[in-house]
Amino acid sequence: MNIFSLFKKNKNFFSQSGQDQFAYNLIGRNGTYLEIGAHDPIINSNTYKLETKCGWKGLSVEYDKTHTASWANCQERNHKIIWENAFQIDYLDEFSKYGLTPKIDYLSCDIDPPKNTFKILKLLINLKIEFKYISYEHDKYSFGDKYEKLSKDFLFQNGYKVAVDNVYSRNKRYKIYETWFVKNNINYQLIDYSVWKKKFYKNNLFKI
């Protein structure tokens, strides 16, 4: 059994850490997303469940065209994916063409290496695009806390706060790789990921 078949067999095992669950709990149904670093349409996808189960609409961006066949064969996913360098896209124009506004519910931000993830985060925020929720990958477990600190300082200055900290992958507590942010005007108190996971994402199961 290959890895794709293994993930397909477990219908609730898509995002690595429940990024989609947090988005759904915060926004509910029919939200909007911008996914920078889409990779596979199902495996480790932060937006698969949101699109296919919760009526969300959005845009995905992926530079690695080795994933094109997987997207073409995934009939469940109908929303647009842009196969371009994330730094060369006119996001506001794409939003306009696709019927989105510069106020997006969820930004999934993950391109390698972490310095590029931070660069694209700054580009999007400086375009005055607003997000209610941002899952930001800094890969602290392998790159140290440099980009974690940079992202926090930058987003604090631009009207965001940390919602969930010390996010780790699956059940690997040593693999802290993300921080989740929300806009300051959202009534949400900081929580450590281990506590959030126990309360809202037990057994890595997405629940509506």
CA angle at residue 135 from 132 to 137, to 5 degrees? 150
Write out the CATH class of domain 3-204.
Answer: alpha beta
Over its length of 208 residues, how does the chain's per-residue pLDDT go in tens digits? Answer: 444 444 444 555 589 999 999 999 999 999 999 999 999 999 999 999 999 999 999 999 999 999 999 999 999 999 999 999 999 999 999 999 999 999 999 999 999 999 999 999 999 999 999 999 999 999 999 999 999 999 999 999 999 999 999 999 988 999 999 999 999 999 999 999 999 999 999 989 999 9
What is the pLDDT, as a whole number, of residue 6? Answer: 46
The pair of three-digit structure tokens given for residue 98, joined into one six-digit string = 């696709």
The DSSP annotation for 103-115 comes to EEEEEEE--SSHH
Kindly give, in sequence order, each residue whose CB lies less than 8 Å from that of residue 99, ignoring residues fewer than 6 positions away. 57
Q: Which amino acid is at 179?
A: T
Distance CA 193, CA 170 (A): 11
Q: Where are the domains of the chain?
A: 3-204
Distance CA 198, CA 65 (A): 36
Mark residue 107 as left, alpha or beta (left: phi above 0; alpha: psi -120 to 50; beta: remaining).
beta
| Neighbouring C-beta atoms of residue 108, cutoff 10 Å | 28
Kindly give, in sequence order, each residue whose CB lies less than 8 Å from that of residue 1, ignoring residues fewer than 6 positions away. 9
What is the pLDDT, as a whole number, of residue 10? Answer: 52
| Backbone φ, ψ for residue 153 (5° rounding) | -60, -45
The pair of three-digit structure tokens given for residue 29, joined into one six-digit string = 């149904």
What is the pLDDT, as a whole number, of residue 7? Answer: 45
Sheet holding 130-137, edge to edge: 81-82, 57-61, 32-36, 103-109, 130-137, 172-183, 160-169, 191-192
Q: How many CA atoms lie within 13 A of 185 on its CB side?
A: 4
Kindly give, in sequence order, each residue whose CB lies less than 8 Å from that of residue 77, ignoring residues fewer than 6 positions away. 41, 48, 51, 52, 71
What is the pLDDT, as a whole number, of residue 170? Answer: 87
3-state SS, residue 48: helix
